[in-house]
Amino acid sequence: YFSFVAPRRRAKLSSFWLWVALFLYSLGLVHSIITVVTRRQVIFRVALLAFSLGFVFHLVSLVEHAFLTHRWPVTTLAEATSLFAFIITAGFLLVYALTGVNSLSVLVFPIVFVMTLAAATSQPALGPIASPLLRATWVPVHISFALVGYSALVISFLAGIMYLIQERQVKSKKLG
């Protein structure tokens, strides 16, 4: 089917799954807003389920884009931003699965939503990359590992922020 579709049409089709992931991530954003306003986690289970499904559709989007362009999607800014949001999501889901700490979701959900929105609204690049330096085999591996490191940094930074907020609440005897 994909071989008969024009390149412009393939770009739109490839980004469809990213838009589905973005919609599901938006439920996490709604959860974050409600949590901050009401100071209670009301719809966390629904938001976590939507966020997890968004993660799956984001993976489908990345794999489909890689098959359509015949390269790992890290060579343009939009592709790297999308992959970065995906890795942050994977990191959060891993941390949640290991520790059960759900307060981190208030900070992670909006960041992933904004990064995915930025990637989804940018123009997708199709075809081969012009620069021979970006076509080297080590570049996608290097960028992918760098994004994994940055994602770990972002998640630990957000966990530190949450720790400081909770410590301040404990000291002021106002738990929220």
**CA angle, 60 as apex, 55 and 63 as ends, to 5°?**
125
pLDDT on residue 77:
87
* Gap between the Cα atoms of 39 and 168, Å rounded: 15
* Gap between the Cα atoms of 34 and 158, Å rounded: 19
Residue 128, helix vs strand vs coil: coil
* Gap between the Cα atoms of 10 and 156, Å rounded: 37
**Would you place residue 5 in the very low, low, confident or very high pLDDT band (cuts 50, 70, 90)?**
very low
The average pLDDT across 10-36 equals 84
Share of the chain above pLDDT 70, in %: 83
pLDDT on residue 126:
56
**CA angle, 42 as apex, 60 and 169 as ends, to 5°?**
110
